[in-house]
């Protein structure tokens, strides 16, 4: 159960918080400055029978310039080189235009993509299930997993399901 996993999503959805929670160290914070390099390693998760390398994929957002367009294309190229991707959204904010742009881009790659609905601590429990149903229809996700990276909710499930795919 080993492989490379890209973590993608708009700024502030909780990517760094999730990586810190999964790796259990403050690696992501240290490497959180704006990056132009591809395949930056953010952290390695190791257990007795699995090793998952988490990669940052800078530049997956709606392009606003030629350079932005280039970065988006290379970020999408990166997705073709990993074993799986975690697409993080801020589930408490709803789907933004940037999210829809990323989902369209995801339809062009064969890589299994997990939709990670983050910040569920900010959502009323009764509102959660309809929201999950709504997001499930957007793409052929490998799995849809609601979490709170901040509170550490459901992170073990995420790691178990992910390593089961690798």
Give the residue ranges of the annotated binding site. Answer: 9-16, 56-60, 118-121
Q: Cα dihedral sign for 20, 25, 26, 32?
A: negative
Note whether 26 binds ligand GDP by CB under 6 A: no
Distance, in Å, from the CA atom of 151 to the CA atom of 160, rounded to the nearest integer, reads 18
**Contacting residue, 55, 58, 119, 154, with ligand GDP by CB under 6 A:** 119
Note whether 150 binds ligand GDP by CB under 6 A: yes
Distance, in Å, from the CA atom of 122 to the CA atom of 156, rounded to the nearest integer, reads 20
Q: Which does 148 bind (CB under 5 to 8 A by kind): ligand GDP, Mg ion, none?
A: ligand GDP
Residue 47 CB neighbours (<10 A):
10
Pick from 48, 36, 44: nearest CA to 4: 44
Distance, in Å, from the CA atom of 166 to the CA atom of 98, rounded to the nearest integer, reads 28
Backbone φ and ψ of 142, nearest 5°? -60, -45
Specify the residue, 32 or 81, whose C-beta has the smaller distance to Mg ion: 32
Q: Which stretch binds Mg ion (CB under 5 A): 31-39, 53-61, 80-88, 89-97?
A: 31-39
Q: Cα dihedral sign for 103, 145, 142, 9?
A: positive
Specify the residue, 1 or 26, whose C-beta has the smaller distance to ligand GDP: 26
Note whether 75 binds ligand GDP by CB under 6 A: no
Note whether 163 binds Mg ion by CB under 5 A: no
Q: Which stretch binds Mg ion (CB under 5 A): 9-17, 86-94, 126-134, 156-164?
A: 9-17
Residues within the interface to Mg ion (CB under 5 A): 15-16, 32
């Amino acid at each position: 159960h080993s492989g490379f996993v890209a973590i993608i999503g708009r700024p502030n959805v909780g990517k760094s918080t999730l990586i810190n929670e999964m790796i259990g160290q403050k690696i992501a914070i240290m490497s959180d400055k704006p990056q132009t390099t591809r395949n930056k390693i953010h952290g390695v998760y190791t257990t007795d029978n699995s090793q998952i390398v988490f990669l940052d994929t800078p530049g997956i957002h709606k392009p606003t310039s030629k350079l932005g367009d280039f970065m988006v294309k290379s970020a999408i190229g990166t997705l073709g080189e990993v074993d799986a991707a975690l697409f993080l959204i801020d589930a408490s904010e709803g789907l933004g235009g940037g999210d829809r742009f990323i989902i369209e881009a995801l339809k062009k790659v064969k890589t299994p993509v997990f939709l990670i609905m983050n910040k569920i601590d900010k959502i009323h429990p009764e509102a959660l299930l309809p929201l999950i149903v709504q997001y499930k229809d957007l793409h052929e996700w490998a799995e849809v997993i609601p979490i709170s990276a901040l509170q550490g909710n459901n992170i073990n499930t995420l790691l178990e399901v992910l390593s089961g795919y690798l």
